[in-house]
A and B are shown apart, each in its own frame.
Chain A
Amino acid sequence: MDAAVRELSYSQAIQEAMAIAMEADERVILMGEDIGVYGGAFQVTGDLIDRFGPDRVMDTPISELGGAGVAVGAAVTGLRPIFEFQFSDFAALAMEQIVNQAAKMRYMLGGAVSVPVVMRFPGGSGTGAAAQHSQSLEAWLGHVPGLKVIQPATPHDVKGMLLAAVADPDPVMIFEHKLLYKMKGPVPEGHYTVPIGKAEVRREGRDLTVVATSLMVHKALEAAETLAAEGMDVEVIDLRTIRPMDRETVIESVKKTSRLMCVYEGVKTLGVGAELSAMVAESEAFDYLDAPIVRLGGAETPIPYNPELEKAAVPQVPGIVAAARDLIRGAR
């Protein structure tokens, strides 16, 4: 029987996923700074402390390294912690636990243990939170074998992917764009999963493949509508997972459209788009390319505080439209 579908916001969908996971499995616990009585820096955990109590919704001290270490240790010893960072920027403080412990342990101990921890990272710019609270650092973690790194772009996907992450035996890093939290969308009731490692074609098209991540999926879809009015038919792929990357969906699409543009908010150089571009150039899709690959990524700068500069530092719809138009018309 099909579950009823309601409109939920992205943050409500996360909260619902966490509640479902906690009800189904008492090993699932939440950890993070101010996630208890305060309800989380972005109110994502909300009142879960009232439903599950402080033993399962644990406030941690203001030490990301300490909190992450406790979460990794708890995972190794049998719990299924979901650890929330207040801002993804603070991943920098916890890198030892994420990169050298969580990602390595299964490998170094010959498979004797696994680290089923989920870490949630509110990221991205657009909230006026300036240089230390606005970055998109998913590519950092995407570089590390042993981690899975996902960027759900819709309420439906974030619930399903979070439930898939909780069930995953290995560490899963979820990057949630802060501007998505209030976005509403259809979300089925009850338990379901959205597979990690599988991209989604959000819009089919013949003239150009745009592979976008997170908030940029929505900007790319908006740009595609504008371009459709001009007679250009753009395919938009929501990458959803940056490690492991869904080669097949991207490559098949590029073979169809012969053009690739990557749109992502992280700094352009050495980012997700660099990996996508190289993956396509190395694949059999190379012989189908009829134009150079184009990347639209974040500017080579810290995110500015000035609101206009902040907007200018990451791809916006008019820029996506212009670049796509040039690419399709053969001006690049």
Chain B
Amino acid sequence: MPVEVIMPKVDMDMATGRISKWFFGDGAEVKKGDVLFEIETDKAAMEIDAPASGTLRDISGREGVDIAVGAPVAWIYEAGEAYAGAPAQQPAPAAAEPAKAPEEARPAAAVPAVPPAAADTGGKVRATPLARRLAQEAGIDLSAVGGSGPKGRVTRADVLAWRPPEKPACTAAAPAASPAPAPAGPSDEQVRRLFAEGSYEVVAHSNMRRTIARRLVEAKSTVPHFYLTVDCSIDALLKLRTELNAAAPVADGRPDFKLSVNDMVIRAYAMALRAVPEANVSWTEEGLLKHRHADIGVAVSVPGGLITPIVRSAEIKTLSAISSEMKDLAARAKDGKLKAEEYQGGTGAVSNLGMFGVREFAAIVNPPHATILAVGAGERRPVMVGDEVRGATLMTVTLSTDHRAVDGALGAELIGAFRSYIERPMLMLV
């Protein structure tokens, strides 16, 4: 029997993947472990190895199209194994073709970036009999359900956990009936009509761009935000940073560490979450998840978008450990080589635009986090000390908070704790 090569599930909420590049062509001899192709998931790129040695045949997974998890993309024939045309399992599942017709049919309704769903896999979705029966009874298209089992197999739990992609609340069928209709933006067609033909080019969305769009629309329209802003004096922090970096042990002509202000911000924020554990939480309908560690998601700008790798248990890590971990995570984030577990979860987040000279801004909370800290540039400003004007280096930070989980006074306590660590940075060393 030839060995099936499938679209693997490399990410928890991955329903489809896109092959960005095949490294072998039809008829090529491959060895088990050879990198067969590269996939682009919602958030990262990943190399997929050959599951067996032999001849690669029937490559049906085309580059650049969404393919359902678990769907076959090619077959590997053992040496000497008879090849009699494509195996019975007819693959080639292009998922989620851009839905043109519905758009034109509903000119008034926004068509939001829904997760690539309705995957046409020719009825070859890998699913347990129970999952099939439950999906059929509930009228759920199995190919839209991401499988969590081996090779993307859909199980009962996957079907039960599945929720339909959110429809725009304001559609022709339900005109202004819902109490708080999501603002229906103009259709693609309407937007294009505002510009002269030929005055623009259309850049296709990457998976990452669609994910960012979907998640932020969801966050900003479902999480009730409020914002708290404080100025932190960072003169002592900058001085300590200079001293620490100067004291770094040198091996092979290179210092052991070079701390950035951001490393110290991560540490201070993690320690603040430890000091105010009521704010180190995630909202769920059933109850508040009160976390035992402060796992800090750090927004990293990458080509085509951003990603937030997580520094786990940052409240118990030394500054040098956080620093070297961040360097590694940021470098791999830029190469699209992060593993799913390195950017999923987290109990709070930090976004720093100070290096771009941004004075202050407010970030969008990214569930399951209940808070995110937006960090501006440190700059010399005049401050009043008693009745005198003095110069100080100030950094303005804004805490965005999920009001379902964290109230105003609690948020104030958290940002206060953060400021006290920043302004008395020696506390971060103990």
Contacts from A to B (Cβ < 8 Å): 258, 286-291, 330-332
CA distance A287 to B156 in the complex (A): 11
Q: Which residues of A contact B129 (CB under 8 A)?
A: 286-290
Q: Which residues of A contact B157 (CB under 8 A)?
A: 330
CA distance A34 to B148 in the complex (A): 60
Whether A330 pairs with B148 at a CB distance below 8 angstroms is yes
Known A-B contacts A330-B150, A331-B150, A332-B150; the reply to A291 vs B155 at CB < 8 A is yes
Q: Which residues of B contact A291 (CB under 8 A)?
A: 128, 149, 155
CA distance A288 to B155 in the complex (A): 11
Within 8 A of A (CB), among B358-411: none
Contacts from B to A (Cβ < 8 Å): 128-133, 148-150, 155-157
Q: Which residues of A contact B128 (CB under 8 A)?
A: 258, 289-291
CA distance A290 to B135 in the complex (A): 13
CA distance A258 to B132 in the complex (A): 13
Whether A258 pairs with B156 at a CB distance below 8 angstroms is yes
Q: Which residues of A contact B149 (CB under 8 A)?
A: 291, 330
CA distance A331 to B157 in the complex (A): 14
Whether B131 pairs with A290 at a CB distance below 8 angstroms is yes
CA distance A189 to B148 in the complex (A): 54
Q: Which residues of A contact B131 (CB under 8 A)?
A: 290
Look across to chain A and name the residue whose beta carbon is closest to the beta carbon of B154: A290
Whether B130 pairs with A287 at a CB distance below 8 angstroms is yes
CA distance A187 to B148 in the complex (A): 48
CA distance A258 to B159 in the complex (A): 14
CA distance A331 to B150 in the complex (A): 6
Look across to chain B and name the residue whose beta carbon is closest to the beta carbon of A332: B150
CB distance from B138 to the nearest CB of A (A): 14
CB distance from A279 to the nearest CB of B (A): 15
Whether A330 pairs with B155 at a CB distance below 8 angstroms is yes
Closest 5 CB pairs between A and B?
Answer: A290-B130, A287-B133, A290-B156, A290-B128, A289-B129
CA distance A290 to B155 in the complex (A): 6
CA distance A228 to B15 in the complex (A): 33
Q: Which residues of B contact A289 (CB under 8 A)?
A: 128-130
Interface SS of B by simple majority: helix
Q: Which residues of B contact A330 (CB under 8 A)?
A: 148-150, 155, 157
CA distance A332 to B130 in the complex (A): 15
Extra A-B contacts (17), CB below 8 Å, given A289-B129, A330-B157: A258-B130, A258-B156, A287-B130, A287-B132, A287-B133, A288-B129, A288-B133, A289-B128, A290-B128, A290-B129, A290-B130, A290-B131, A290-B156, A291-B128, A330-B148, A330-B155, A331-B150
CB distance from B140 to the nearest CB of A (A): 15
CB distance from B300 to the nearest CB of A (A): 32
CB distance from B4 to the nearest CB of A (A): 16
Look across to chain A and name the residue whose beta carbon is closest to the beta carbon of B159: A290
Q: Which residues of B contact A286 (CB under 8 A)?
A: 129
CA distance A289 to B130 in the complex (A): 5
Q: Which residues of B contact A290 (CB under 8 A)?
A: 128-131, 155-156
CA distance A331 to B131 in the complex (A): 16
Look across to chain A and name the residue whose beta carbon is closest to the beta carbon of B128: A290
Look across to chain B and name the residue whose beta carbon is closest to the beta carbon of A281: B129
Look across to chain A and name the residue whose beta carbon is closest to the beta carbon of B133: A287
CA distance A287 to B132 in the complex (A): 8
CA distance A290 to B156 in the complex (A): 6
- Supply 24 A–B pairs (Cβ within 8 Å), ascending by A: A258-B128, A258-B156, A286-B129, A287-B129, A287-B130, A287-B132, A287-B133, A288-B130, A288-B133, A289-B128, A289-B129, A289-B130, A290-B129, A290-B130, A290-B155, A290-B156, A291-B128, A291-B149, A330-B148, A330-B149, A330-B150, A330-B155, A330-B157, A331-B150
Look across to chain A and name the residue whose beta carbon is closest to the beta carbon of B127: A290
CB distance from A283 to the nearest CB of B (A): 11
Look across to chain A and name the residue whose beta carbon is closest to the beta carbon of B147: A330
CA distance A10 to B132 in the complex (A): 46
CA distance A330 to B149 in the complex (A): 6
CA distance A214 to B333 in the complex (A): 56
CB distance from A13 to the nearest CB of B (A): 41
CA distance A291 to B157 in the complex (A): 11
Look across to chain B and name the residue whose beta carbon is closest to the beta carbon of A331: B150
CA distance A332 to B150 in the complex (A): 7
Q: Which residues of B contact A331 (CB under 8 A)?
A: 150
CB distance from A108 to the nearest CB of B (A): 42
CA distance A331 to B149 in the complex (A): 7
Q: Which residues of B contact A288 (CB under 8 A)?
A: 129-130, 133
CA distance A291 to B155 in the complex (A): 8
CB distance from B191 to the nearest CB of A (A): 44
Q: Which residues of B contact A332 (CB under 8 A)?
A: 150
Q: Which residues of A contact B150 (CB under 8 A)?
A: 330-332
Q: Which residues of A contact B130 (CB under 8 A)?
A: 258, 287-290
CA distance A332 to B151 in the complex (A): 10
CA distance A289 to B148 in the complex (A): 16
Look across to chain A and name the residue whose beta carbon is closest to the beta carbon of B148: A330
Look across to chain B and name the residue whose beta carbon is closest to the beta carbon of A287: B133
CA distance A286 to B131 in the complex (A): 11
Q: Which residues of B contact A287 (CB under 8 A)?
A: 129-130, 132-133
Look across to chain A and name the residue whose beta carbon is closest to the beta carbon of B149: A330
